[in-house]
Amino acid sequence: MNKVRSATRTTIAAHAVLITYTLIALFPVFVIVINSFKDRRAIFRDPLGLPNEETFSLIGYETVLKQGDFFLYFQNSMIVTVVSLTLILLFGAMAAFALAEYRFKGNRLMGLYLALGIMIPIRIGTVAILEMMVSTGLVNTLTALILVYTAQGLPLAVFILSEFMKGVSDDLKNAGRIDGLSEYKIFFRLVLPLVRPAMATVAVFNMIPIWNDLWFPLILAPAEEVKTLTLGSQVFIGQFVTDWNAVLSALSMAILPVMVLYVIFSRQLIRGITSGAVK
Amino acid sequence: MSGVTLNKVIKRYGDVQVIHGVDLEIADGEFCVFVGPSGCGKSTLLRMVAGLEETTEGAMHIGDRDVTRMDPSQRGVAMVFQTYALYPHMTVKDNMGFGLKMNGHPKSEIEEKVAEATRILKLEPYLDRKPAALSGGQRQRVSIGRAIVRGPEVFLFDEPLSNLDAELRVEMRVEIARLHKEIGATMIYVTHDQVEAMTLADKIVVLRLGVIEQVGAPMDLYRDPDNKFVAGFIGSPAMNFVNGSAKDGAVVAPGLAASYEGMINAAYEGKALSVGARPEHITINPAGDTHTVEMTESLGGVSFAYLAGATGERIVVEERGDVRSEEGAKVGIEIDASRIYLFDAETEMRIRT
């Protein structure tokens, strides 16, 4: 009985810590969301107050939506994030499979070379990247951003996934080979489903920095028709006047798609964990 | 259906040679067991037959086809792994049908073959479960089922029972024997357990360090081993070996406190010998006093007495019946001279008389 009781107590304590952390983490988001529904004066007079009849206002959302290009920015961000993630996962997993599965000369060296990218931030190479993009005519295209983000995400993806793929039993792959599967089918049908939790982890790790990035959109794709959401929101932040309603509304809306993507990936995480082991 | 022929098969990893020119012929429908201590190359040899390891030199035929350089899937083999190697994210049914599905066989044919394998292995209640929800024995049955569905010419088993507990192992052993009778395909089976080898095999291949020591029917290996290694490996408990020598045409074995006349020719005069006798062929004479009983193990129907002779060499003796010897007792031993095996102490080869 005592043990049971103390177990309950531990659970309560653990939950208390987690709930506290959640509250702290969610508080800024909460403040952004409530303030996006208030008029300008209310934002400054009582930043922590909930919107009421008097202060409730959709002026921020109206401004953002009237701006017209907001949906375009939204679409740009979505395209860049989803395509980059797909490419990172696809190529990262393929490279990881090759490194984990095949013995060839320079295997270790290649792995080390790919892991180097984890230690060296890609922004150091911004000038060189910009020069390359200019000479290939990719400036002001989404392709430029997708290429950069893919390069940025690959090292960590390869590193994490190859560790996981080494854990997939050799017998399983050999069983596939005897069953007449090509190496591609072994990769897609046997190995990928088994490393799905790792894939979800990699996706979550990469998604948010890409979505939130301001640096590369500003440098590589500042043109109106390829602006991302983060860059697009900057129009409301002026040197002298900032339209806080619009900024907060834009940010509130920018949270949604990331949340949807996150829910999708985290479901994969849980499913992967419960899908059962090899033996 | 067809047999398997290996011709001077060699496997090298870099400079290290692990299989040294194996010649072997396995007849159609034969149950062949590769047996040997760990590291003897039996699994490597099996994987070479499967095509999972490249054959460095030599040739390999299944039936009339030269399969030496073929991909695993083209060889007409199916393999059952020690770790089962079931696809964890698929149900039992999908596991069995996956190979055929991936190779574009029609759905009706897959269903039919899976149903047939299910019937043979009595897997009906588990078809929609995932491997994680099965016990070890059931998983291995599914793994065998996956092999059956492929309809191979040759079945390959890589220590399929090693991960099961003792009781299940016996059960599955019987099942595999039954399967062989029912399907009649050629089967190659790797194990380090000589009980499995003895009970299942039509033909046993004893391997050591990448070399075949002897090939033969189980009882032939038991009765007539070619060398000391095979004699010691086949039979449980292992054969007893004591040092001996040839003197005046007789074999003298101090460890057995006995000498045997007329068993050896003059060419061996004065040479060192190794004298072997199986535990089940030695009887204890309670009246004697040449050996001391150091320890006994009673298994019920039989017990094993560990004796030490004047030379300090230990001998295991199997005892049956109501009277068993006790620890510390002084006893004598008797062996029928026809049950003695002689080996050259140096080459370890059998000396046949």
Same domain for A93 and A160? yes
- pLDDT above 60 for B269: yes
Single-letter code of the amino acid located at B118: T
How much of chain B exceeds pLDDT 90, in percent? 45
Q: Is A237 left (phi over 0), alpha (psi -120 to 50) or beta?
A: beta
Residue A279 lies in a domain: no
CATH of the domain at A121: 1.10.3720.10
Q: Which of B228, B259, B289 is a domain's end point?
A: B228
- Do B146 and A193 count as a contact with CB atoms less than 8 A apart? no
Chain A residue with Cα closest to B137: A279
- Dist. CA A20–CA B347, nearest whole Å: 77
Domain containing residue B154:
4-228
- Do B99 and A179 count as a contact with CB atoms less than 8 A apart? yes
Q: Which of A37, A57, A77 is a domain's end point?
A: A57
- Do B88 and A275 count as a contact with CB atoms less than 8 A apart? yes
Three-state secondary structure along A49-117? CCCCCCCECCHHHHHHHHCCCHHHHHHHHHHHHHHHHHHHHHHHHHHHHHHHHCCCCCHHHHHHHHHHH
Q: Which of A40, A57, A74 is a domain's end point?
A: A57
- pLDDT above 70 for A38: yes
Same domain for B169 and B281? no
Total number of domains in chain B:
2
What's the residue count for chain A? Answer: 279
pLDDT at A278 (0 to 100): 41
CA angle B74, B77, B83 (to 5 degrees): 120
Q: What residues contact residue B347 under an 8 Å CB cut-off, 6+ apart? A: none
Same domain for A169 and A206? yes
CB-based burial of residue A69 (10 Å sphere; 0-12 exposed, 13-18 middle, 19+ buried)? middle
Same domain for B68 and B111? yes
β-sheet bridge partners, residue B13: B16
Same domain for B299 and B221? no
Same domain for A265 and A134? yes
Same domain for B90 and B219? yes
Same domain for B309 and B244? yes
Chain A residue with Cα closest to B50: A178
pTM of the model as a whole: 0.78
Same domain for A68 and A94? yes
Same domain for A89 and A198? yes
Q: Which of B185, B201, B228 is a domain's end point?
A: B228
Single-letter code of the amino acid located at A87: L
- Do A175 and B81 count as a contact with CB atoms less than 8 A apart? yes
- pLDDT above 90 for B188: yes
Nearest to B84 among A177, A185, A279 (CB): A279
- Does A276 contact chain B (CB < 8 Å)? yes
How much of chain A exceeds pLDDT 70, in percent? 94
CATH of the domain at B307: 2.40.50.140
Residue B235 lies in a domain: no
For residue B94, give how far its alpha carbon lies from the nearest alpha carbon of chain A (Å).
Answer: 12
Identify the weakest region by mean pLDDT among A53-57, A96-100, A182-186, A225-229. A53-57
Peptide bond just before B131 cis, omega within 30 deg: no
CATH of the domain at B220: 3.40.50.300
- Do B150 and A174 count as a contact with CB atoms less than 8 A apart? no
Residue A191 lies in a domain: yes
What average pLDDT score do residues B97-124 get?
89
Same domain for B197 and B262? no
- Do A178 and B50 count as a contact with CB atoms less than 8 A apart? yes
Q: How crowded is residue A275: how many other Cβ atoms within 10 Å of its Cβ?
A: 15
Domain containing residue A10:
1-57
Nearest to B85 among A171, A181, A276 (CB): A171
Structure confidence by residue, pLDDT tens digits, B141-177? 899 999 999 888 999 999 998 888 888 888 889 989 9
Interface size A-B, in CB pairs within 8 Å, comes to 82
Same domain for A166 and A69? yes
Same domain for B138 and B193? yes
Total number of domains in chain A:
2
- pLDDT above 50 for A277: no
Nearest to A177 among B73, B83, B132 (CB): B73
Element (H, E) at B313: none
Residue B234 lies in a domain: no
